[in-house]
Amino acid sequence: MTREFINFEKISRQSWQELHQKTKPLLTAAELEAIKSLNDHISMQDVIEVYLPLISLIQIYKRAQDNLSFSKSIFLKKDLSHTPFIIGISGSVAVGKSTTSRLLQLLLSRTFKTSKVEMVTTDGFLYPNAVLTEHNLLNRKGFPESYDMESLLNFLDTIKNRSEAQIPVYSHEIYDIIPNKKQTIQRPDFLILEGINVFQNQQNNRLYMSDYFDFSIYIDAENTNIEKWYLERFASLLELAKSDKGNYYHRFTLMPYEKAMQFAHNIWQTVNLVNLEKYIEPTRNRAELILHKAADHMIDEIYLKK
């Protein structure tokens, strides 16, 4: 598939790493290993060559936001109010959004030592399976209509106004919203919002989540590579679920391995790939920065909005 990056400047990894003076990676190898998602690949070299320059760029955007807030407060003759810096991270299923988000959360916490950095996934705003089943949408899980977008926008509005918010918690183990469990987000200085749908809002054409973002990232890769990573992750999830009957993936361990993997391949072709091509990838140009991954998970190209 031809990939069109409209209004972006292409930067090679070599050029990108030269934009930042090499320094200590701000985390240990053990910490990096702990935040990696299943089957994701990331090294300390990636941290130094890709993510530290990214942190430097975010610092530039943060200073610009602070300066603009200060100037607006003078213009409006109002007291200066500090709003949280919100970062949106999008991309396909299995492309490595969660690893990138957790890594950024850790690096931002180490860079802005007095700042509170929170991370939220949009999975918590999926309708519960019972609601999806009631509306015949369970096989459309992950598609725009399966999210409570109004609640998600209300959450962002609450956070931007420096108020406390409680949001639902999603579990990949049970493949559903956990009943009666909430995540409390209390007035963060930075909020990282991660999900396949962070540049979408099919239910309200007047407002997009990206209207709340101060910086945004799209994790990109060739679709054939993402499919391979998805199937590798599915195989790993089967291994983990073998002895856990409460795990959603346990049911697939009861069928022959080849049949289970064929099922995963069909899900990729009929659900995830369709969602990617129709709803996720078309929003890519709303990002401020695109990180492109090669077949080995290494980020080889960076695209920065002009």
- β pairing state of 85-91 and 215-221: parallel
Tokens representing residue 278 in the block? 């129709």
Identify the residue with better confidence: 135 or 37: 135
Tokens representing residue 127 in the block? 């309708």
Give tens-digit pLDDT for 41-99.
Answer: 899 999 999 999 999 999 999 999 999 999 999 999 998 888 999 999 999 999 999 99
Give tens-digit pLDDT for 270-293.
Answer: 999 999 999 999 999 999 999 999
Whole-number pLDDT of residue 170: 97
Residue 39 pLDDT level (bands cut at 50, 70, 90): confident
Q: At what angle do helices 97-111 and 52-76 cross, to 10 degrees?
A: 70
Q: Which segments are annotated as binding site?
A: 91-98
Q: Which amino acid type is present at position 192?
A: I
Residue 2 pLDDT level (bands cut at 50, 70, 90): very low
pLDDT over 70 percentage in the chain: 97
Buried/exposed 56-92: b ≥16 CB within 10 Å, e otherwise: ebbeeebeebeeeeeeeeeeeeeeeeeebbbbbbbbb
Give tens-digit pLDDT for 228-262.
Answer: 999 999 999 999 999 999 999 999 999 999 999 99
- pLDDT of 203 above 90: no
* pTM metric for this prediction: 0.94
131 burial via Cβ count (<10 Å: 0-12, 13-18, 19+): middle
Q: Which segments are annotated as binding site for ATP?
A: 91-98
Write down the mean pLDDT value for the chain. Answer: 93
In whole angstroms, give the CA distance from residue 215 to residue 195.
15
- pLDDT of 1 above 50: no
State whether residue 185 is helix, strand or coil: strand
Give tens-digit pLDDT for 158-195.
Answer: 999 988 999 999 999 999 999 999 999 999 999 999 99
Identify the residue with better confidence: 227 or 23: 227
| Paired residues of 304 in beta bridges | 9, 289
Beta-sheet strands, E only, within 31-109: 85-91
- pLDDT of 111 above 50: yes
In whole angstroms, give the CA distance from residue 60 to residue 68.
12
Whole-number pLDDT of residue 206: 73
Reported CATH class of domain 8-305: alpha beta
